[in-house]
Chains A and B, each alone.
Chain A
């Protein structure tokens, strides 16, 4: 006879999915865009990326030790690496090393561990860190390096890149400039019109990512492809990206047709800033987004609306970080009001009436 076994209930078989599987798939999806960004911005970008990810892992290990837990199994689930990676993607590519370290610290400690660890945070950790960095260190966070692709002549070599990362840039004006959105905002204050401002900007180059911007967020094309792949793999649902992008595009379209000299076109919106990255990888974060499909549509639309409003009328050229944080705070409210209908009950929770037949 087989020996006695303890009672087990519920589903005895499973889908063989796991948290680390999900995390690694997301990392796979953002790899093309990240690789392209590293290629575009050279060694300093690589240094920053490595430093940010490693410090994220280090801070996570530190917090776990303080809690009295074994660090390795938790690190292996990949969530700290992913947080560091996403944060690195949103940083200016030639930012000094301490921006990466402070950012990771804010993201992991204040954005995740003080709430209780994985699954407990209210705000997206990467966005929390980025916004905190932006407000605290505006100069460093708005210094956008020119595109100086790796192995090309004007790209800094390895030793020079360490100098840039650890001691800061020497001649800022020669090697940096403004992003498209930032340029538009400053030029608007000079009362120039859009067609005039944008005459040197190529839409195609912005689309593939050959323009100034954050480390991993320049290439709308690669981010979009990665995002679509994630949806196909059923890791994320289409509701948030589609509603977010559609809302931005619609609003931009409406205002652009009304006044094409003062309002940026929808295509430019989609190509620039962090929009693609936020739509597919940041707003879709499980922990901070609503649980139901309808709720996710509302969430995405809200993000899109806020992004458009901040970009057009706000003081900052890029509003995605703020928009995501604001909508994260609204997620519990969305979840409270938008819930699935229980079988046999109406929307309010009362049993249905018996159909008279």
Chain B
């Protein structure tokens, strides 16, 4: 008898509380700003297309719907992935994010014909030039979206890695190998 009354009362309690929670969830909901706009603000905005989406806004929409991982933007690197994950409240697996190889475009002056196709497509106006004049890339403004390389008819535009100098050399992160995994015999030295 006691057991039956215990079961009944606890079940009733559960049902009532669940109902209350449901009502609260519907009527007391907090409206937040559209997450898509916030995501789009985080993305670089260069519309380079390296993520596979036709631009940064569609990429932001995909992220908001959960159709794309937080690590989808190569130029953003791990810093951007962390920001996206923090905004969306996702767990982040940074193991396959390679730091974007920093590239800049460079015009090989010997083969430039001055056709002006490249600076018309550069989203940041990083190429200076005029018809029949040799063009040049302003390295600071170049975001390595590679649109110019695609349109250049003589292939004089190539991507080069940014030179490492004493000024921008950085210490590497120590490898995290507490105990050797099975099969390998290497020491954890970095």
Residues of A in contact with B (beta carbons under 8 Å apart): 6-9, 68-70, 73-74
Contact = CB atoms under 8 A, between A and B. Distances in A.
Contact of B180 (A6, A9, A70): A70
Interface of B: 171-172, 179-182, 189-190
Interface centre among B171, B181, B182, B190 (most CB of A within 10 A): B182
B179 A70 contact: yes
Contacts, number: 19
A7 B171 CA distance: 8
Given A7-B171, A9-B171, A70 B190 contact: no
A73 B179 contact: yes
Contact of A70 (B171, B182, B189): B182
Contacts of B190: 6, 8
Contact residues of A: prevailing secondary structure: loop
Contact of B182 (A7, A8, A9, A68): A68
A73 B179 CA distance: 7
Interface centre among B171, B179, B181, B189 (most CB of A within 10 A): B179
A6 B190 CA distance: 8
Contact residues of B: prevailing secondary structure: loop
Nearest to B185: A70
A9 B190 CA distance: 10
19 contacts: A6-B189, A6-B190, A7-B171, A7-B172, A8-B190, A9-B171, A68-B181, A68-B182, A69-B179, A69-B180, A69-B181, A69-B182, A70-B179, A70-B180, A70-B181, A70-B182, A73-B179, A73-B180, A74-B179
Contacts of B171: 7, 9
B80 to A, nearest CB: 28
Contacts of A8: 190
Contacts of B181: 68-70
A76 to B, nearest CB: 10
A188 to B, nearest CB: 34
Nearest to B190: A6
Contacts of A9: 171
Nearest to A118: B178
Nearest to A9: B171
Contacts of B179: 69-70, 73-74
A19 to B, nearest CB: 11
Nearest to B169: A7
B167 to A, nearest CB: 16
A240 B12 CA distance: 50
